Chains A and B, each alone.
Chain A
Amino acid sequence: MSGIWAGMVEAFLLVWSLDADLIDITLRSLKVSLSALVIACAIALPLGTWLAIRRFRHRRFVIAILNALMGLPPVVVGLIVYLLLSRAGPFGVLDLLFTPTAMVIAQVIIITPLIASITHQAMRELWSEYHDLLISLNTTHGQRIATLIWDGRRTLMTASLAGFGRAVGEVGAIMIVGGNIDHVTRVLTTAIALETGKGDFALALGLGVVLIALSLCVNLTIHSLSRTEREGRW
Chain B
Amino acid sequence: MSQNLFVQLQGVVVKRRAKAVLGPIDLELSGGGFTIVLGPNGAGKTTLLKVLHGVERITSGSVTWSVSDKTAQQGQAYVFQSPVMLRRSVRANLAYPLQLLGLPKAEIAERVAHWGARIGLSAVLDFPAPRLSGGEQQKLALARALIRRPHTLFLDEPCANLDGRSTREVEDILCEATQAGARIIMTTHDLGQARRLADRVLFLSKGQVEEQARANTFFTAPESSGATAFLNGDIIE
Q: Do A and B bind each other?
A: yes
Q: Is the CB of B128 within 8 A of A151?
A: no
Does B80 reach chain A (CB closer than 8 Å)?
yes
Stretch of B84-92, B165-173, B223-231 with 4 or more beta carbons under 8 angstroms from chain A: B84-92
* Known A136-B55, A230-B89, A233-B128; contact A129-B100, beta-carbon cutoff 8 A: no
Stretch of A34-42, A110-118, A137-145, A210-218 with 4 or more beta carbons under 8 angstroms from chain B: A137-145
Q: B88 touches which one: A126, A135, A139, A151 (CB < 8 A)?
A: A151
Q: Please give me the residue from chain A that is nearest to B86 by CB atom.
A: A151
Interface set, chain A 143-179, CB cutoff 8 A to B = 143, 147, 151
Does A5 reach chain B (CB closer than 8 Å)?
no
Q: Is the CB of B84 within 8 A of A130?
A: yes
Does A19 reach chain B (CB closer than 8 Å)?
no
For B74, the chain A residues whose CB sits under 8 A away are 138
A40 to chain B, nearest CB (A): 25
Q: Is the CB of B84 within 8 A of A133?
A: yes
B51 to chain A, nearest CB (A): 13
Interface string of B64-103 (1 = CB under 8 A from A): 0000000001100110100010111100000011001000
Q: Please give me the residue from chain B that is nearest to A140 by CB atom.
A: B100
For B88, the chain A residues whose CB sits under 8 A away are 151, 231
Most chain B C-beta atoms within 10 Å of own C-beta, residue among A132, A137, A139, A230 = A137
Interface set, chain A 102-132, CB cutoff 8 A to B = 126, 129-130, 132
Residues of chain B touching chain A, judged by Cβ–Cβ distance below 8 Å, are 53, 55, 73-74, 77-78, 80, 84, 86-89, 96-97, 100, 126, 128
Please name 16 pairs of A and B residues whose Cβ atoms are closer than 8 Å in the assembled complex, sorted by A.
Answer: A129-B84, A132-B84, A133-B84, A133-B86, A135-B55, A136-B53, A136-B55, A137-B97, A138-B100, A139-B100, A143-B100, A147-B86, A151-B88, A230-B126, A231-B88, A231-B89
In addition to A136-B55, A136-B77, A137-B97, 13 A-B residue pairs with Cβ atoms within 8 Å of each other are A126-B87, A130-B84, A130-B86, A132-B55, A132-B80, A132-B84, A137-B100, A138-B73, A138-B100, A147-B96, A231-B88, A231-B128, A233-B128
Q: Which 4 A-B pairs have the closest CB atoms?
A: A133-B84, A136-B78, A151-B87, A135-B55
Residues of chain A touching chain B, judged by Cβ–Cβ distance below 8 Å, are 126, 129-130, 132-133, 135-139, 143, 147, 151, 230-231, 233
